[in-house]
Amino acid sequence: MYLKRLEISGFKSFANKTVLDFPHNVTSVVGPNGSGKSNVADAIKWVLGEQSMKSLRGKKSEDIIFNGSDKKTKMSAATASLVFDNRDRKMPLDSDEVVLTRKLFRNGESEYLINKDKVRLGDIIDLLARSGISQRGYCVINQGMADSILVASPAERMVIFEEATGVRKFQIKKEQTVKKLEATRKNLDRVTELLIEIEPHLNLLRRQASKAEKRGEVSEELRREQTSYYDHVWQDLIRGNAGYKKDESTLTAQIENGDKEVERIKKDLAENSVDNESYNKDFEDLQKKSNTLQQELNDFQREISIAEGRIEIEREKMEKAKRPEFKPINLGYVKEKIAKIISSYNVFVEKIAQIKEMSELDEVRKETSEVKTEIDALYSEIQQGRVCLKGEENFDDTDLCNFEKAKEEVSIKAERIRKDYDAVRTKVAELNRSEQEKRQAFFHLERQLQACQDEINRAKDNLNRINIEVAKFEVRKEDLLNEIKDELGEGVAILVKIKANEDIEIQDDQGYFNREGAELKIRRLKNQMDQIGGIDPLIMDEYKETQQRFEFLSSQSRDLAEASESLKQVIAELDEKVEKMFKVSFKSINDEFNRYFKIIFDGGKAELSIKYETENKEEGVDAEGESSAEEKEATKGKPKIAGIEVSAIPPGKKIGSLNMLSGGERALTSIAILFAIIAHNPPPFSVLDEIDAALDEANSFRLSRIIKEIADRTQFIVITHNREMMAQADVLYGVTMQDDGVSKIVSVKLDEFSE
């Protein structure tokens, strides 16, 4: 890569388009004072991105645009282009030629172009840096700049050497890294401050949130317990009421059935009513008949008794007639017997009348047979008496027979009457029995009716009681619903369920429900809630937010601390790299310096030396200001370079300080340093703007030799008035300025110029 051409137009005194080709290693630009030679150097510097108007020898940016003259009007824009041969692709662009252009318009607008494409200044600087062309380097060197190396303080010189040794870019990187570290530290401090500020609040919120969480858990448990509790209570209530309903329908049915039964019994009673009148009449009729027959029977008995008495008498008479001893039947005895029999009979009749059950009839029968036995015995006794009497043959038994016959007749009658009587008594007994049965059936019905009515009354009582219970249930149900609403809220599931269908299917009793236990638990949970107290519902949100912020800041703090550590690492690495690189390059430059010094001065001794900072800082060392805390920390323990000292002793002289050198010696020493730098790191091209001004011919010659020596590595454009310098040039351009104030380029020959 080399600089092929410079094209300028409207730039300072070069109003017209001017082209300077640089086909060879050394090109000289010559011309009278004020013709515009240095404007060529300025144009090159400008295209390379120079921003300092001071460096471009102007005050404001438009000072670089041709300002017009008496004969030529000013231009509206300045343009300058550097054309590079890039066939070796040292410039990282895929073209054989690279054209860098800078334009400035009077309105202040400016343009940068690479191969006619608009770019930013940064792109130009980047491209140049990557091509080894530094705008701050040694591409354009003027006299003042050369001298400034000696004029500068050691610290300022250090800056020049940092540039020259190539460590500057790493130092810039380091400076940037230090700035980043500072910013990171500041951020870290800010984050730490925030963390310290937030933490107590976060702790407070955490405690409150944990309380809120606990309260939420207790509240949840309470709600669960209450839901289960009310579910059970509701079920119990409904189940109880269902029992009442069941009982109610049973009782209602019972009452209805009872009423029907009562009706039926009443009907039966009506049908089976006891007719006392009819019975009494029948009984009296029969009793009358019985009495009549009794009377008749008694009469016959009396007649029979009388007949028997007479028969007795007759028999006694007959006995007496027969002499046989016979005992007459005692009439009193017979009467007594008959009376006894009648009495038994009456008792017997009475008993028959009162017979109610069959067993009693058997009793009466027994008595009947006893009475019959008595009658039979008496009869037999009487018969025996009569037989005895009948045995008497001599005895007139007519009376006896009459008597016996009469007795027989009466007995037959009596027997008939007795049968009638017995029949009547049987009827009486039958009537009584039937009446008794009727009465019994009636009373039985009456008792049934009573029992039935008692049953109905009991059922009605129960029904009333149940109705009261049902009314109580309604009240309890309403109370319970209100309680659930108060405790759990309007929309709670159980309430919705209950309201949707109050008769929700009631599960079978799910076993033992410890109501008291549940109530105790609910009371305990409510107490717990009271103890925890009310908590702002927004606390949870605020806690989460603050927690997130705290975590975010914590992670930021960690990241920043890590970043800070790695930045420190980078700084340390850069320092190490800078130190190594500086030492190596510095030695090389120092060697070159000594060599060029000896060439230029034809002997003598020159040396560059590094000056380190001591604890008591030396004056001028801190030209760039105090190092930051970060930088100090990063470079802790290492001696810091304070600056570069120059010692230059021309041959045969005893020089204590640079101030003792002559102007020319100073210029030569500066040039030796410059060329040592250029030789160490040759730029692609270098513009030397009258750096030889202070040199005599011999020294100019030495300088031109040095230029020639380096020219195979660096292309030189030398602006000079010096013939020796011109003599080394391959091409010579003359710059002239006529009275129109416009610089022009003319090719000149050395001989022409010298004339």
| Residues lying near ligand ATP in the complex (CB under 6 A) | 12-13, 31, 33-39, 63, 66-67, 735, 741
For the beta carbon of residue 460, count every other beta carbon within 10 angstroms.
15
What is the distance between the alpha carbons of residues 565 and 176, in angstroms, rounded to a whole number? 15
* Least distance in angstroms from the C-beta of 141 to ligand ATP: 14
Residue 438: CA count within 13 A, CB half-sphere: 15
Taking alpha carbons only, the member of 413, 222, 238, 398 closest to residue 310 is 398
* Least distance in angstroms from the C-beta of 57 to ligand ATP: 7
DSSP secondary structure code for residue 64 in this structure: G
Q: Residues in the chain, how many?
A: 755
* Least distance in angstroms from the C-beta of 18 to ligand ATP: 13
- Based on CB atoms, which residue is closest to ligand ATP, 64 or 417? 64
* Least distance in angstroms from the C-beta of 124 to ligand ATP: 22
Q: How far apart are the first and last CA of the chain?
A: 36
| Structure-token pair, residue 545 | 């937010």
- Is 229:513 a contact under the CB 8 Å cutoff? no
- Is 102:108 a contact under the CB 8 Å cutoff? no
| Structure-token pair, residue 604 | 């003598």
- Based on CB atoms, which residue is closest to ligand ATP, 289 or 721? 721
- Based on CB atoms, which residue is closest to ligand ATP, 61 or 250? 61
- Based on CB atoms, which residue is closest to ligand ATP, 255 or 719? 719
- Based on CB atoms, which residue is closest to ligand ATP, 32 or 603? 32
Q: Which residue is nearest to ligand ATP (CB)?
A: 33
* Least distance in angstroms from the C-beta of 42 to ligand ATP: 7
Region of residue 601 (left: phi > 0; alpha: psi -120 to 50; beta: else): alpha
Buried b (16+ CB within 10 A) or exposed e, 328-354: bbeeeebeebbeebeebbeebbebbbe
What is the distance between the alpha carbons of residues 141 and 123, in angstroms, rounded to a whole number? 24
- Based on CB atoms, which residue is closest to ligand ATP, 678 or 719? 719
SS3 string, 285-296, reads HHHHHHHHHHHH
- Is 372:418 a contact under the CB 8 Å cutoff? no
Question: Looking at this protein, which amino acid is placed at residue 748?
Answer: V
- Based on CB atoms, which residue is closest to ligand ATP, 62 or 282? 62
- Based on CB atoms, which residue is closest to ligand ATP, 50 or 404? 50
| Structure-token pair, residue 707 | 């230029």
* Least distance in angstroms from the C-beta of 75 to ligand ATP: 8
* Least distance in angstroms from the C-beta of 91 to ligand ATP: 28
* Least distance in angstroms from the C-beta of 685 to ligand ATP: 19
* Least distance in angstroms from the C-beta of 144 to ligand ATP: 11
* Least distance in angstroms from the C-beta of 742 to ligand ATP: 8
Beta strand 715-719 with 685-689: parallel, antiparallel or unpaired? parallel
- Is 586:608 a contact under the CB 8 Å cutoff? yes
What is the distance between the alpha carbons of residues 719 and 721, in angstroms, rounded to a whole number? 7
DSSP string, 80-128: EEEEEE-TT--SSSSSSEEEEEEEEETTS-EEEEETTEEE-HHHHHHHH
| CA torsion angle 465 467 472 478 (round to 10) | 170
- Based on CB atoms, which residue is closest to ligand ATP, 525 or 687? 687
* Least distance in angstroms from the C-beta of 693 to ligand ATP: 9
- Based on CB atoms, which residue is closest to ligand ATP, 411 or 686? 686
- Based on CB atoms, which residue is closest to ligand ATP, 77 or 371? 77
User: Which sign does the torsion angle of CA 746, 752, 753, 755 carry?
Assistant: negative
User: Which sign does the torsion angle of CA 689, 693, 695, 700 carry?
Assistant: positive
CB neighbour list of residue 213: distance below 8 Å, 6 or more residues apart: 540
* Least distance in angstroms from the C-beta of 37 to ligand ATP: 4
- Is 51:45 a contact under the CB 8 Å cutoff? no
Residue 731: CA count within 13 A, CB half-sphere: 17
Taking alpha carbons only, the member of 452, 303, 308 closest to residue 385 is 308
* Least distance in angstroms from the C-beta of 50 to ligand ATP: 15
* Least distance in angstroms from the C-beta of 667 to ligand ATP: 16
- Based on CB atoms, which residue is closest to ligand ATP, 38 or 131? 38
For the beta carbon of residue 24, count every other beta carbon within 10 angstroms.
13
* Least distance in angstroms from the C-beta of 737 to ligand ATP: 6
| Structure-token pair, residue 134 | 């530094």
Question: Looking at this protein, which amino acid is placed at residue 54?
Answer: K
- Based on CB atoms, which residue is closest to ligand ATP, 132 or 741? 741
SS3 string, 315-358, reads HHHHHHHHCCCCCCCCHHHHHHHHHHHHHHHHHHHHHHHHCCCH
* Least distance in angstroms from the C-beta of 736 to ligand ATP: 10
Q: Which residue has the tokens 């009240």?
A: 475
| Structure-token pair, residue 740 | 């129109």
